[in-house]
Amino acid sequence: MKVFIAGANGMLAHDLAAMLAERGHEVLKGARPEFDIIDINSVQKTIEGLRPDVVVNCAAYTAVDSAEKERELAFKINGEGPANLATVASEVGSALVHISTDFVFDGKKNTPYNESDPTGPVNVYGESKLAGEINARKILPGSLIVRTSWLYGLQGPNFVKTMIGLLSERESVDVVVDQVGCPTYTVDLAEAVASLVEAGCKGIFHFSNEGVASWYDFAYEIVEILKSKGTRLKLKALRPVLTKKFPRPAPRPSYSVLDKTRYRVAIGSDIPHWRDALKRFLDSHDLEAIKKDTRRC
């Protein structure tokens, strides 16, 4: 298949491009400033020229707190961008894959969210991502929507990189314990997206690594893995705290664990646990290089 990835410089896009190429697909990439999903002319020129079998939208506005002040920009990128891609994809006969988020839910459940659960974003970022889902499926009903959560990987800023930097610089670190979800390694998500595309799946699918964690649980596991590797840390105390200690412009859902039953049935493969995924990530990359990269997080 010929697969075009929008937002090709992003964290997931980097791993997805490698995964698709490894599986023998032709990978084409689009990224700003040459390719901009909010510019319909740019989208038409590129996709009509390439005529890919599949368009995967990895482009997104992901600054959750900034979105509260930049609502219009967030909706342009996360809401109108997918509409532009769906419009042109439908015109040239391409399938569309749109990457979405657990933040489309309000976090009031205490059991994993499945694909048919009512949505109810609690912040502008979640609202804009939900708008993208709705627009894509309205324009191209056969669109594949993949919701995921708490992403980390080698490319770009993320929680793991930030924590590695903090653990090396501070003796004590406070981490929120009352927000629960599931960390997801971009390599595992890339494999899931590739599998869904190859299977010709349509509609909404949830994917994250297995298991449940708070941000504190996530941080604690990072510490334990680093210690087992003999990594020198300045940290002496990792302290669980409540969300209210860190007031932020955008509220977060307190619980956003995703039910992956539909994915398992469609693909028939096991999903790695988040602890296993985290260990693979930390074992696969040079920690000193990651520490340096945390300055950009």
Amino acid letter for position 78? N
Burial letters 40-76, b for 16+ CB under 10 A, else e = bebbeebbeeeebebbbbbbbbbebeebbebeeebbb
Q: Taking a C-beta distance cutoff of 8 angstroms, is the pair 233, 287 a contact?
A: no
Q: Which of 61, 113, 125, 185 is catalytic?
A: 125
Local structure of 84: helix, strand or coil: helix
Q: Would residue 125 show up in a list of annotated catalytic residues for this protein?
A: yes
- Is the Cα dihedral 40, 44, 45, 50 positive or negative? positive
Q: What is the Cα–Cα distance from 70 to 61, expressed in whole angstroms?
A: 10
Cα separation, 206 vs 200, in Å, equals 16
Burial label for 247, CB within 10 Å (0-12, 13-18, 19+), is exposed
Residue 67 and residue 80 in contact, taking contact as beta carbons nearer than 8 Å:
no
Catalogue the active-site residues.
Answer: 125
